[in-house]
Amino acid sequence: MPSVTEIREMAGEQSITMLTAYDAVTASIVDAAGTDVILVGDSVGNADMGYESTLPVTVDEIASRTGAVVRGTEDALVVADMPFLSFGVDQSESIEHCGRMLKEEGADAVKIESSKRTVELTERLTELGIPVMAHLGLTPQKVNELGGYTRQGTTPEAARRIIDLANRHEEAGAFSLVLEHVPANLAEKVTDALDIPTIGIGAGPGCDGQVLVINDVVGLSDWEPPFSEQFGDVRSEMAGAVEKYNDAVESGDFPAEEHSHYEDDLDELY
């Protein structure tokens, strides 16, 4: 069972595997496959709740999903992804929201979309015993400011800002860092600059680990980011089962004798 310390020590050693999960069933499948880290992503908003973005997701929703994932997980490290405006508005409120994921839901750590304003919060949370995974590059909670889910860190200045913030979050105590949708050569430089592991999504092969959204990986999404890869076709599997069920009900093949029971005493009932 990897702890935050064991994940930190995987930097430069073994590739860290991380996937999202939003419910106990999926978490149990992801966990049994030996995945190192399960992220209760705020991507639940678009992946599982029908929203267009991650912005509407609430603290209560992430808390509820985190509890479910924890109950479905035996071995993996469970990280709760703090939703839009659950941190950064007010420090004590931020700490309460993050603390709740550990204290009430059993998460091992939280992830916070990082900026220069989260350095101090990361330090405070770490010092209180709430391990923090940082997140730089494309931070989808800033979609309205960025104007889309565009590649980040593409100019020397933007790349330098990311390297600087990565260093500052490591110094503040973050135990790992997600790097999203940045050039592979920038991700390599960040990985070299840090002692803590980098976990990439659309950040090339040079990171210490990789993360993707489970729906994209198993083939449940109706769209995926260009950097994702479908490793299965669960949507067709499910559609096939549902069609067979509908056909069986319509034809009268289901339920059959083995799905039904009869009581002799009831035969005379009028």
Residue 225 C-beta: closest distance to ligand KIV, Å: 9
Number of residues that bind ligand MHF (CB under 6 A): 17
Give the residue from 127, 33, 118, 30 showing the smallest Cα distance to 79: 30
Question: Tokens at residue 164, please?
Answer: 């600087």
- In the complex, least distance from residue 227 CB atom to ligand KIV, rounded to whole angstroms: 10
Residue 58 in tokens: 């609430």
Q: Is 15 annotated as a binding residue?
A: no
3-state secondary structure of 80: strand
3-state SS track over 122-180? HHHHHHHCCCEEEEEECCHHHHHHHCCCCCCCCCHHHHHHHHHHHHHHHHHCCCEEEEE
Does residue 42 bind Mg ion (CB under 5 A)? yes
Subset of residues 196 to 235 that bind ligand MHF, contact rule: CB under 6 A: 213, 215-216, 221, 225-226, 228
> Taking CB under 6 A as the criterion, which residues in 30-59 touch ligand KIV?
39, 41-43
Task: State yes or no: is 257 an active-site residue.
Answer: no
Angle at which helix 118-128 crosses helix 91-103, to 10 degrees, equals: 40
Where in 79-98 is the site for Mg ion (CB under 5 A)? Answer: 81
The Cα–Cα gap between 15 and 167 comes to: 21
Q: Choose the binding region for ligand MHF from 43-51, 105-113, 239-247, 248-256 (rule: CB under 6 A).
A: 43-51
| Residue 249 C-beta: closest distance to ligand KIV, Å | 36
- Binding site feature residues for 3-methyl-2-oxobutanoate: 42-43, 81, 111
